[in-house]
Amino acid sequence: MIKVLDNAIKTQIKSLLGLEFNEFINKLYAIAYGSRFTPIKQKHDKGSDGILDNQISLSVYSPEKYSLNDFKRKVTNKDKEGDFDKYQINWKNKGYKWMFVYNGEITTEMRNFLVALEKDVEIIDINYILVFIDTLEWSKKRSIAEYLSIDEIYFVNDILSDIIDDLIKVKDSSDIIHKKPSYIKDKIELNYSQEDVDTAINEYYECLGYFSKLEGVLPKDNESISALHSKIRRDYLKYNGDFKTRLYHLTEEYSSKYKNDDVYKFYVGVVLIYYFEYCLIGKRTVDEKC
């Protein structure tokens, strides 16, 4: 499935110039690394835009218009005011390694120039940044998307797509035609204990707003949707206990990829409650014809 969030993030990052890009890298590294990253104020940076793991000094580069000559002067110049010059003077002699971060795509000429100056330089460009963001937990991705002012719909679309992609792993010739139940309250009361009904109703309505977005990322071919239905139904039946207990275990199983990520777990719940509504799992009311 197309990762619309990735495209939105890439567009936003490439639009950040100068101090804006520096601030974004500070935000990204703070989200990703926590206390392992130390931002440095520009007036006192001594040629460093941040320190990672107390052993790597960052140089961040984001020109309004790129040219190879301008890039070279930015990195090193006769006045010893380039990024590499300052790194050599203030950081290399202390044992720090050098990381060069660019908001565009590194060319061969740029890479060769940097490596000629410092063979162990770690080069980070827009493509690396996108891959790095993609490895983060969904809660951290959401923080980054919010910082970049990216519409929530892109985030929701991608996380639901990711969950559905993970679930479609088996093929099954069976298929089920679902119909929305007439009275969701009756269905909830049938599947939950009386003390849990109010909470379950609230959880249902929290998920309800995302159902239309989920339908937009569900597979369209019969084989894939049938495989998805078969997997969820079979996994639900392998657990013992009442509906609440089975739903808990199923949510934990499907969230194991990001087991400490509450955002991911919530959207797994959206998928499961959606299929509860359409009577794939749980007891059916007498009015349901699924």
**What is the average per-residue pLDDT within 232-250?**
95
Are residue 173 and residue 104 in the same domain, yes or no?
no
Coil, strand or helix: which one is 194?
A: helix
Instruction: State percent of the chain over pLDDT 90.
Output: 64
In this structure, the answer to whether residues 63 and 181 fall within a common structural domain is no
What kind and span of H or E run contains 99? strand 97-102
Establish if 229 belongs to a structural domain.
Answer: yes
Residues 91 and 215 in one domain: no
Residues 270 and 166 placed together within one structural domain of the fold: yes
pTM for the full predicted model: 0.73
Verify that 190 and 245 share a domain, yes or no. Answer: yes
Using one digit for the tens of pLDDT, what is the confidence trace for 28-48? Answer: 999 999 999 999 876 555 779
The answer to whether the beta carbons of residues 226 and 172 sit under 8 Å apart is yes
- Return the minimum-mean-pLDDT range out of 43-47, 190-194, 195-199, 214-218: 43-47
Residue 182 pLDDT level (bands cut at 50, 70, 90): low
Using CA atoms, how far apart are residues 200 and 248, in angstroms rounded to an integer?
12
**Structural domain ending residue among the three candidates 76, 106, 136:** 136
Give kind and range of the element (H or E) at residue 58: strand 56-61
Measure the CA–CA gap between 114 and 106, rounded to whole angstroms. 10
- Rounded-to-integer distance, Cα 258 and Cα 265, Å: 8
Q: Which structural domain, as residue segments, surrounds residue 157?
A: 152-277
Q: For the chain, how long is the longest CA-to-CA vector?
A: 84
In a domain, 288, yes or no: no
For the cut 70, the answer to whether the pLDDT of residue 1 exceeds it is: no
pLDDT over 50 at 195, yes or no:
yes
Domain end marker among 110, 136, 162: 136
Q: Judge if 132 and 172 occupy the same domain.
A: no
Q: Backbone dihedral region of 46: left (phi > 0), alpha (psi from -120 to 50 degrees) or beta?
A: left
| 124 & 188 share domain | no
Amino acid 40: pLDDT: 85
Predicted local confidence at residue 290, as pLDDT: 57
B/e letters for 123-132, b = 16+ CB within 10 Å, e = fewer, are: ebbbeebeee
Q: Does 209 lie in the same domain as 181?
A: yes
Q: Does residue 146 fall inside a structural domain?
A: no
pLDDT of residue 41: 75
Instruction: Tell me the C-alpha distance between 256 and 263, whole Å.
Output: 13
- Total domains in the chain come to 2
Residue 283 is given by DSSP the state: P
Mean pLDDT value of segment 88-97: 93
- CB of 156 closer than 8 Å to CB of 5: no
pLDDT tens digits along 244-284: 999 999 999 999 988 889 999 999 999 999 999 888 899 88
CA distances from 190 to 40, 85, 109, 244 (A): 58, 71, 67, 11
pLDDT at 179 over 70: no
Is 41 part of any domain?
yes
Domain match, 160 and 257 both:
yes
Task: Please report whether residue 87 resides in a domain.
Answer: yes
Does residue 34 share a domain with residue 157? no
Domain edge (last residue) among 136, 169, 188? 136
Residue-wise pLDDT for 119-177, tens only, equals 999 999 999 999 999 889 999 999 999 999 999 888 898 899 888 888 875 444 344 33
